[in-house]
Amino acid sequence: MTQAALAQLEERIRALDPWFHDLEIHGIRTAPNHPLGNFLQDLWSQVEPAFPGDMTGKTVLDIGCNAGFYSLRLHARGAQVTGIEHDPHYLRQAEFAARELGADIEFILMDVYDVERLGRQFDYVLFMGVLYHLRYPLYALDKVARLPRERLVFQSMLRGSAETLRVEDDYPITEREVFLDSRFPCMYFLENRYAGDPTNWWVPNRAGMEAMLRSAGLRIDARVGSEVYYCSPAGR
Ligand SMILES: C[S@@+](CC[C@H](N)C(=O)[O-])C[C@H]1O[C@@H](n2cnc3c(N)ncnc32)[C@H](O)[C@@H]1O
């Protein structure tokens, strides 16, 4: 690319500020001063072993795809990728980045609550970093759990106890103590803000997250790091 073309590209990238995904487009980074630093590369190293090296012929759905970091990575492995995103600003970034990088990815402005409108399943589904932004997380998770044929790769912010306990099948109504145990499955409701973000609504503890994944009809095949799960449809 000529210097003039690069300067023009930089201008077009800056016109799409602010970026959450730090992508590299022809050597220019979209969010070089991201407050979370290199978090995407760290997460990618936890996520990428969930996928085959060669994804030719495989379909992928990236829910809450943002500017398309994961979509682009999986497209580069040969997958046929669809990304959905409810924020038009992020969707514009994703479309721009894919166009500039010559990646043929289908991006759709869509809310996760409407995901059944796609009318199809996918070999792999990513549902990363979205659940805690939802006011109705289990409603969404129940829908998302029906979409993957092979694997769901999931991540949520988790807080509270990282320990789990053996939950009984049933408890008498007089049982109160167990609810005071920080290892009991739970989800914290954020009425105001957390990390300055008013769209953070529900943050599960580890036991709560794992119980919800199972309850939605998923089998947890692996937990990677503290927040990433590889799941598959439990019926398989
Ligand atoms: C923390 S970012 C995570 C982005 C990306 N999935 C990742 O892991 O890097 C949350 C993304 O989910 C999107 N999102 C939030 N609520 C959504 C909803 N109801 N439907 C679809 N996307 C949503 C946001 O616009 C944002 O792009």
Beta bridge mates, 80: 59
- pLDDT value of position 236: 57
Question: Which residue ranges of the chain lie beneath pLDDT 50?
Answer: none
**DSSP assignments along 112-170, one per residue:** GGGGGGG---EEEEEEES-GGG-SSHHHHHHHHTTSEEEEEEEE----S--------S-
If you take atom 14 of ligand 1, which residue's CA is the nearest one? 64
Q: Is the pTM of this model over 0.85?
A: yes
Q: If you write DSSP's letter for every residue of 179-220 in order, what string do you get?
A: GG-TTS--EEE-SS-BTTBTT--EEE-HHHHHHHHHHTTEEE
Q: Please state, as a whole number, how many other Cβ atoms lie within 10 Å of the Cβ of residue 35.
A: 7
Tell me what pLDDT residue 37 has. 84
Give, for ligand 1, the residue of 86, 113, 128, 224 to mutate: max count of ligand atoms closer than 8 Å to Cβ: 86
Contact between residue 152 and residue 231 where contact means Cβ atoms under 8 Å apart: yes
- Measured in angstroms, how far is the CA atom of residue 130 from the centroid of ligand 1? 5
30-45, pLDDT tens digit by residue? 999 988 888 899 999 9
C-alpha of residue 20 to centroid of ligand 1, in Å: 10
Distance 183 CA to ligand 1 centre (A): 28
Q: Which residues, 6 or more positions from 24, have their beta carbon under 8 angstroms from its beta carbon?
A: 30
